[in-house]
Structure 1
Amino acid sequence: MSENKILFNTGSLDELSEEIGKLTNNEESRLKLGPDNADSGLAKLVLTLVELIRKLVEKQAMRRVDGGSLTEDEIERLGETLMKLELKMEELKKHFNLTDRDLNINLGPLGNLM
């Protein structure tokens, strides 16, 4: 196992958690949950995951567009869907008083999410 990457782990959940902890060395990217901030902490976690998935879907969509495997109609629907999702994310970030910086996490060797 590399110090910078988790390629495969057959160890315990505690060992895996420790390895992930090593990758997320940015103090701001850590989730801090407590009785006073459980709602905002959970919202931050969920919106970060949604943003990660949204970015992955967007990249895959661009690959398909560039590869020519989509019709003009599919490209139009895809673009509209991605725009609506981005607008909804902005609305949710505003509702929970979060910024892009709040949702940015360190993905280790892959760099930051945003």
Structure 2
Amino acid sequence: MSRAFRLVQSPPRRQERPSGAARRIRASRETVEEDLLKLVLTLVELLRQLIERQALRRVDAGDLTDEQEEELGATLLALHDRLSDLCAEHGYSLEDLNLDLGPLGPLLPPRN
């Protein structure tokens, strides 16, 4: 097996998994809109962080002019602020948007 596809840790055996209720998706008609909103906000935050990392790589590589760096920084800051505002409007924090992917760990990296 290739090293790229080797698992760091074996997945849990069937009997080691939590009971069905603990692993089941909890969805109801009453919360579907809020759940969808939280998912969309999570995806926007993930994309924002990916764009931010790519922008930092480009800045470090010297690919951007000073004006482009300033504009990109202002845009990313405005996006972060607006996302924080949207979260606050709906009773979330940015930390609430992180999804637990089980054995893969959290979706979003820890904040610095």
TM-score by length of structure 2 reads 0.69
Superposition RMSD in Å: 2.6
Superposition deviation, residue 95 in structure 1: 1.2
For 1:90 and 1:83, the matched residues in 2 are separated by 11
Change (3 A) 1:4 1:40: farther
1:52 matched to 2:42? The reply is no
Change (3 A) 1:84 1:78: same
For 1:57 and 1:31, the matched residues in 2 are separated by 30
Over 6 Å off, 4+ runs: none
For 2:25 and 2:96, the matched residues in 1 are separated by 10
| SS of residue matched to 1:106 | coil
Larger CA Rg, structure 1 vs 2: 2
TM-score by length of structure 1 reads 0.68
For 1:88 and 1:71, the matched residues in 2 are separated by 26
Superposition deviation, residue 105 in structure 1: 1.7
Please tell me the residue identity of whatever aligns with 1:80: A
Higher relative contact order (CA 8 A, sep 6+): 1
What percentage of aligned pairs have identical amino acids?
38
1:106 matched to 2:100? The reply is yes
Moved more, 100-109 or 71-80: 100-109
Please tell me the residue identity of whatever aligns with 1:64: R
Change (3 A) 1:111 1:66: same
For 2:68 and 2:62, the matched residues in 1 are separated by 11
* 1:1-46 alpha-carbon deviations (Å, 9 max, x no partner): 65569xxxxxxxxxxxxxxxx9xxxx7xx97431111111011100
The match for 2:61 is 67
For 1:4 and 1:49, the matched residues in 2 are separated by 26
Alignment size in residue pairs: 92
The match for 2:74 is 80
Superposition deviation, residue 87 in structure 1: 0.6
1:38 matched to 2:32? The reply is yes
